[in-house]
Amino acid sequence: MSELFRRQVWVSPFWEDKPVAAVEMIGVERTLFGSDWPHTEGIADPLSYRDELAGLPEETIDRVKGANALELTMPI
C-alpha cells in the first residue's frame, strides 16, 4: 500500500464485507465505522456492527467504532 494512500484515505467497510478483513488489510488507524441507515448499504441496528468486529482486541474495536472518527475530525 502506498504511503500516500495510508496518509490520505480512510475506509468505512460495509458490514457484509467482513470489516475484520478491512482492518487487517488497511490498518486499524484508517478504518471507520459508518451507518447510512435507512439506505440499503446501512445497518438497521448500528450497535450490532460490533458483532462484525468480534475477535479483534477491545482497543481496536473502540478505535473503529469511534476514536478514529474523533481523531479525523479534531482540528490540528
pTM of the model: 0.78
C-alpha angle 36-57-65 in degrees, rounded to nearest 5: 20
50 versus 7: the higher-pLDDT residue is 50
pLDDT reported for residue 1: 62
pLDDT reported for residue 36: 66
Report whether pLDDT(67) > 90: yes
- Contact residues for 13 (Cβ-Cβ < 8 A; gap 6+): 19, 21, 22, 31
pLDDT digits (tens, 9 = 90+) for 16-57: 888 999 899 889 999 998 776 666 667 788 888 899 899 999
